[in-house]
């Protein structure tokens, strides 16, 4: 399954796919193309989700192992996606339907809001356990969205948060049943849908200036 976009009124629902939804080069092309289209088409909000077991398992580590000489350009593309979602001129919410690990969890962090399935799936930054330190840009993104306590609890431990646990720490706004994760995300977006896009983009650029600068510096 490839990336697809459907609409609920003027809220775009972008489905990342039904596999691990890792950030392959094709995935990065597809998600950016989909965002281009929905913004140009006048979407007033964006909800991203997956189908099945995963929201996203993050970086395409198999590809990276085979193409180590391209690591810098690849990570740059991933950072660019995070910065783009962080500053979209419309309200955004990640409806975390299943596992969100590493860069997949960071993609969810780049959204304005997050909901998560309460009965299945983990939200996890496993970097400490897989011995891959956060880049400054990734760390800045996460820390721009979490309290210091939640950042310590998630970034230094490799802890796997279920939906209710993630909500308790403020990592997600709400945990919901499987069939309510996307509707709950839509409900978070609707009250701010239709705000002036230029103003919203400018506000986000100012709010997240340090994180954006860190993401663009690498």
Q: 101-155 pLDDT, tens per residue?
A: 999 999 999 999 999 999 999 999 999 999 999 999 999 999 999 999 999 999 9
Segment 167-196 shows an average pLDDT of 97
**Close Cβ partners of 149 (under 8 Å, ≥ 6 residues apart):** 169
**Close Cβ partners of 180 (under 8 Å, ≥ 6 residues apart):** none
Q: What is the pTM of this model?
A: 0.97
pLDDT in tens, 105-116: 999 999 999 999
Could you state, in order of their start, the residue ranges of all structural domains in the chain? 4-217
Which residue in the block uniquely carries the two structure tokens 């391209």?
Answer: 70
Local confidence band at 1 (pLDDT 50, 70, 90 cut-offs) = low
Decide: 63 and 205 in contact? Cβ < 8 Å.
no
Segment 191-208 shows an average pLDDT of 96
Q: Is residue 218 pLDDT above 80, yes or no?
A: no
What CATH superfamily is the domain 4-217? 2-enoyl-CoA Hydratase; Chain A, domain 1 (3.90.226.10)
Segment 159-184 shows an average pLDDT of 97
pLDDT in tens, 76-114: 999 999 999 999 999 999 999 999 999 999 999 999 999
Give me the numbers of helices (H) and strands (E) for the chain, helices first please: 11, 10
3-state secondary structure of 99: strand
- Tokens matching residue 104: 């997949």
């Amino acid at each position: 399954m490839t990336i697809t976009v459907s609409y609920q009124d003027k809220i775009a629902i972008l489905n990342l796919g039904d596999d691990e939804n890792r950030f392959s080069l094709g995935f990065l092309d597809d998600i950016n193309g989909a965002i281009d289209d929905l913004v140009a088409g006048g979407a007033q909000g964006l909800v991203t989700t997956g189908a099945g077991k995963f929201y996203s398992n993050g970086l395409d580590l198999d590809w990276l192992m085979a193409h180590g000489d391209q690591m810098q350009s690849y990570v740059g593309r991933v950072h660019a996606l995070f910065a783009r979602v962080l500053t979209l001129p419309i309200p955004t919410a990640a409806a975390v339907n299943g596992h969100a690990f590493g860069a997949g969890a960071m993609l969810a962090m780049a959204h304005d809001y997050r909901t998560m399935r309460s009965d299945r799936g983990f939200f996890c930054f496993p970097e400490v356990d897989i011995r891959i330190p956060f880049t400054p840009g990734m760390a800045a993104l996460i820390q721009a969205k979490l309290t210091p306590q939640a950042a310590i609890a998630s970034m230094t431990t490799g802890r796997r948060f279920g939906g209710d646990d993630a909500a308790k720490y403020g990592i997600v706004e709400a945990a919901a049943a499987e069939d309510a994760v996307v509707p709950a995300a839509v409900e978070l977006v609707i009250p701010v849908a239709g705000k002036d896009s230029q103003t919203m983009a400018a506000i986000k650029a100012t709010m997240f200036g340090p994180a954006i600068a860190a993401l663009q510096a690498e």
